């Protein structure tokens, strides 16, 4: 149980285009999901907290208009990187918090984004 | 504010040797602490968690960690390293209130050599 999937697992896009990453909780409901960014050989940096049916809460320094988050259902959150640039290339990881157990986060396998 | 500090960005051990990965936390409230493992190009897998019950926590793959309040530490250990343990390890503390966000340490890369 407690499986989180991400799609796609890797994506290459051209500079200036937008790319959408999906995060799904497969066997539990997740009122809250989190989006992280991880640069090579570095730790996870929390970008935003996504809540079903409401606006995401972004961490300081994260551009809301560049990283659009939508949490339309209890099992799906999406992160759209708009007008991507090479510096947006990174590993993006989502996690989902089980609504019923409360605090534990389950992590997705990550999405490798490369912007050329 | 809560935070974690992982001492040693790289740790190298021989196969069969003791693994010790250090984590110190800072928290004004009783913390919830976690250890995660990350293999290359993968997400995070929970190894173990401390939630104010037993101070010695046993996790998966033979890992365990001891919560020491007096030392504000939550070090991860494994008696005998295996080649498959080579990975990146992250210590994390759960923030109190709000959405219970996790704050991660910088990570420790464990290398295991024959």
A102 pLDDT exceeds 70? no
Mean pLDDT lowest among A36-40, A79-83, B1-5: B1-5
Subunit contact A97:B43, Cβ cutoff 8 A: no
Buried-state track A61-93, b at ≥16 Cβ within 10 A, e below 16: ebeeeebbbebeebbbbbbebeebeeebbbbbb
Subunit contact A107:B45, Cβ cutoff 8 A: yes
Interface with chain A: mutation pick from B44, B57, B104, highest number of A CBs within 10 Å: B44
* Mean model confidence pLDDT for chain B: 92
Average pLDDT over residues A55-73: 93
Instruction: Determine what percent of chain A falls in helix, strand and coil, rounding each to the nearest 5.
Output: 5, 55, 45
- DSSP string for B47-62: EEEE-SS-SEEE-GGG
Contacts A–B by Cβ distance under 8 A? 49
Chain A residues within an 8 Å CB radius of B40:
none
Subunit contact A44:B44, Cβ cutoff 8 A: yes
Answer whether A45's CB lies under 8 Å from A38's CB. Answer: yes
Average pLDDT over residues B14-34: 93
3-class secondary structure, A7: strand
Subunit contact A43:B107, Cβ cutoff 8 A: yes
Using CB atoms, which residue from A4, A41, A43 is nearest to B90? A43
Q: What is the pLDDT of residues B41-72, one digit of tens each?
A: 888 999 999 987 789 999 999 999 999 999 99
What pLDDT, on a 0 to 100 scale, did the predictor assign at position B98? 67
Partner B contacted by A25 (CB < 8 A): no
Subunit contact B99:A97, Cβ cutoff 8 A: yes
């Amino acid at each position: 149980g407690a499986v989180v999937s991400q799609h796609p697992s890797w994506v290459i896009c051209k500079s200036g285009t937008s790319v959408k990453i999906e995060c799904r909780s497969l066997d539990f409901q997740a009122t809250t999901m989190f989006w992280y960014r991880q640069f090579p050989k570095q730790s996870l940096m929390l970008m935003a907290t996504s809540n079903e049916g409401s606006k995401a809460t972004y961490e300081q320094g994260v551009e809301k208009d560049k990283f659009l988050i939508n949490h339309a259902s209890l099992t799906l959150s999406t992160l759209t990187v708009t007008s991507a640039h090479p510096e947006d290339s990174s590993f993006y990881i989502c996690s989902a918090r089980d609504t019923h157990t409360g605090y534990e986060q389950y992590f997705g396998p990550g999405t490798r984004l490369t912007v050329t | 504010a809560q935070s974690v500090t992982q001492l040693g960005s790289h740790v190298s051990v021989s196969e069969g040797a003791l693994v010790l990965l250090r984590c110190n936390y800072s928290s004004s409230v009783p913390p919830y602490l976690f250890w995660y493992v990350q293999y290359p190009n993968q997400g995070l897998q929970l190894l173990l968690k401390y939630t104010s019950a037993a101070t010695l926590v046993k996790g998966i793959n033979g890992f365990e960690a001891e919560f020491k309040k007096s030392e504000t530490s939550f070090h991860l250990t494994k008696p005998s390293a295996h080649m498959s343990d080579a990975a990146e390890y992250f210590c994390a503390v759960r923030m109190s209130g709000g959405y219970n966000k996790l704050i991660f340490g910088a990570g420790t890369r464990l290398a295991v050599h024959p």
